[in-house]
Chain A
Amino acid sequence: MTEQKRYNLIREQAYQPHFGLVHAFFAIMGGFAFYGPYDGNNPIVEESLFQISTNPHYTAEVPKFETLVYIMEHFPHIFTDITEEYILDQAASSSLSKALLIVQVAWFCTNCASRLLQHLPLSLLEVSTAAHAFCTLLTYVVWWSKPINVAAPTIMREKEAREVYALLKCSDDEYEKALQMAQERAAAESSTLSTTHGSEKVDLAAGALQHLLPAPNPKRPPSSNFKNGGYMLSLGSFSNELLTGVVDPEFITTAISPILYGLVHFLAWGDRFPTPLERLLWQASSLVVTCSGLAEVVAISLGGWLVEAYIISGGTINKLMVLMIMAIAFAHILASGFLIVESFRQLSFLDSAAYQLPSWSNYWPHFL
């Protein structure tokens, strides 16, 4: 093997494009954006990143979930050209900081567990904090590969990305023209064929379609392609629109997340309370917080079933549903508020055993 071949092989291995969880999270949170627009045949010119905010004619557009899937199926290289290292470089948190936080939170959870095992009382504040720590721990595990605190999306402005963007922005008429042009180019086996349709958008879209042409009828991009710019890099900006199963996963997460948070509060079920009424209220609040998500899911499912079975009209059920969801959300907020307030109020009524320290968790390295 010659030196040049060996060098090329090493280089290929080092820069092998790939798409992992980091890319997927970044795409889902709106991290990949196209730079437009094409109104009035405005040509896209190479500009610096700083010109986005100063030039009112240009906007960054974030693809919708279906569009992301379409791009990944047909033009994956425009995402994989942006390396994982580049994405992680923009994130404000590193694996080390996440690991340190997890160790600290895990120490607190172990501390609570060792108190229970040594029959030492847990104060309500510790129970509330344990619930928060437990949820934080789960969130960190789920978001381990997510690039957190990225301030701005990555603008894709390479030629191939602009071609894909032009294709996504095409109307039906323009798409047909672009397809025709791509077929003409493929027949002539030359991408430098002069355009006959005039528009630069069509010209660029034809360039993108050329990559798909070996297929007789290339798949058309989805009709509605871009999210509002306000959704960029915001939490939960995408819903699971593509999921079509028996049970919607969003329903499951709506039910499960309050259960995970609320269940921890049951640790204080038999705790000492200032008054019996407060104990009753704590127990009721724990129950409300735990079951609120499940109740919401049941209410929505029941409403859907009633409409499908023609028992109640759609308009009436919509009003009832809104009222029910508002009532459940209000009860949840009220119960959560009480749990927090009560956990601080109990501090004035703690018995002496609450101040004893458990021995096990002292061996765990932690910050105080």
Chain B
Amino acid sequence: MFITLLALEYLLFLAINERINAGILLRKVLKSHPHLVKPGMLAGMWDWIHSRVKSKEVSTQCQSSVIC
């Protein structure tokens, strides 16, 4: 920990590596059990926007929700 405080680039190296490993594990889970994978923050936002755009419950002109 002392080394990581002195050499911040080493901490960054560890962080990126850990994120890569977590990504690999998630990809493996996505492959074998896709229903279990919870999308991350960005993927969740993308899914939400994408579902809004694709949804039939939106007006074609302004893509906003139709008030019934």
Contacts and interface: CB of A to CB of B under 8 A. Distances in A.
Interface of A: 17-21, 24-25, 27-29, 65, 68-69, 72-73, 76, 80, 84, 131-132, 135-136, 138-139, 142-146, 235-236, 238-240, 242-243, 249-250, 253-254, 256-258, 260-262, 289, 293, 333, 336
A144 B22 CA distance: 12
Nearest to B4: A235
B20 A240 contact: yes
B28 A72 contact: yes
B38 A257 contact: no
A258 B12 CA distance: 9
Contacts of B10: 257
Contacts, number: 125
B36 to A, nearest CB: 5
Given A19-B33, A257-B10, A262-B9, 20 more contacts: A19-B26, A19-B29, A19-B36, A19-B38, A21-B38, A28-B18, A29-B18, A69-B28, A72-B28, A135-B12, A139-B11, A145-B22, A145-B41, A235-B1, A235-B11, A253-B20, A254-B13, A257-B9, A260-B12, A293-B13
A261 B9 contact: yes
A348 B40 CA distance: 48
Contacts of B21: 24, 28, 65, 238, 240
B18 A146 contact: yes
Given A73-B32, A80-B36, A336-B7, A236 B18 contact: yes
Given A135-B11, A142-B16, A235-B4, A21 B22 contact: yes
B40 A20 contact: yes
B24 interface: yes
Interface of B: 1, 4, 6-26, 28-29, 32-33, 36-41
A76 B36 contact: yes
Interface of A is mostly: helix
B36 A257 contact: no
14 contacts: A20-B39, A20-B40, A24-B26, A72-B32, A76-B32, A139-B8, A142-B16, A143-B19, A146-B18, A236-B13, A238-B18, A239-B17, A256-B16, A293-B13
A258 B19 contact: no
Nearest to B7: A336
B21 to A, nearest CB: 5
Interface of B is mostly: helix
Contact of A135 (B8, B17, B20, B33): B8
B55 to A, nearest CB: 20
Nearest to A145: B40
Given A76-B29, A76-B36, A136-B8, A243 B19 contact: no
Nearest to A139: B15
Given A76-B33, A143-B19, A235-B4, A21 B26 contact: yes
A351 to B, nearest CB: 29
A138 B28 contact: no
B9 A20 contact: no
Contacts of B23: 24
Contacts of A132: 8
A338 to B, nearest CB: 13
